[in-house]
Amino acid sequence: MQGKLQFDWLGDQKRTLTRGYHLCAICWTKQTQAARAGSVYECEEYLSMLDYDDPEIRRYLERIGYDKWSRAYASRNRYSVMMSNNAESLNAVVVTAREYPICKLIEFIVGTMQKWFCDRREAAAANESRLSAHFESQLILSQANAAVMQ
């Protein structure tokens, strides 16, 4: 979703907010870096650089809502993985295994990744709905509320 929103933003704003292709490419790079920033401070640094190029861009992004396109402002971790950096997620798991010889370390990483994928595949196979468990419960609640409406 974030990538699509960034692409739509580029297409919409290319004509209206920027004063040429070069500036548009620069703004696109800064907005992408702001979206991928791991902390609010880092995101704000890139947004202040965008303000220098064109203040309208930041106003547009504020109207959308930072939580919709920025990892730093997201309300929760997505997919139970740290959003700031996939390498950080793996590093957090591999802390004890770093002492192993390189071959054992690689085996540990491969085994960990296989377990993650297997767990997610089993959870997906056990799901009888096309929706995730979170949205399935929201749908059931909405149906119950609709049943008692007059």
* Residue where a domain terminates, one of 69, 102, 127: 69
In a domain, 80, yes or no: no
61 and 103 within one domain: no
What pLDDT, on a 0 to 100 scale, did the predictor assign at position 86? 64
How do residues 131-145 score in pLDDT, each as one tens digit? 777 888 888 888 888
* CA distance between the termini of the chain: 37
CA–CA gap between residue 15 and residue 46 (Å, rounded): 22
Full domain range(s) for residue 110: 94-147
Question: Would the CA dihedral through 88, 94, 98, 102 be positive or negative?
Answer: negative
Neighbours of 41 (CB within 10 A): 9
Number of domains, the chain: 2
Residue 132 lies in a domain: yes
pLDDT of 148 strictly over 80: yes
User: What Å distances lie between residue 8 and 4, 87, 129, CA to CA?
Assistant: 6, 28, 30
State how far the Cα of 88 lies from the Cα of 80, in Å rounded to an integer: 13
Is residue 86 a part of any domain in this protein? no
Residue 127: inside a domain, yes or no? yes
Q: Helix axis angle, 55-64 relative to 2-16, nearest 10°? A: 140
Helix (H, G, I), strand (E, B) or coil at 18: coil
Q: What's the gap between Cα 150 and its chain centre?
A: 40
Q: Mark whether 56 and 114 lie in a shared domain.
A: no
CA proximity to 37, closest of 69, 59, 79: 69
Do 7 and 57 fall within a single domain? yes
Residue 111 — very low, low, confident or very high, per pLDDT cuts 50/70/90?
Answer: very high
**Does pLDDT of 17 surpass 60?**
no
Any domain includes 75: no
Residue 10 pLDDT level (bands cut at 50, 70, 90): low
Give residue 123's pLDDT band: very low, low, confident or very high (50, 70, 90): confident
Chosen domain end from 16, 36, 69 = 69
Lowest mean pLDDT among 22-26, 40-44, 132-136: 22-26
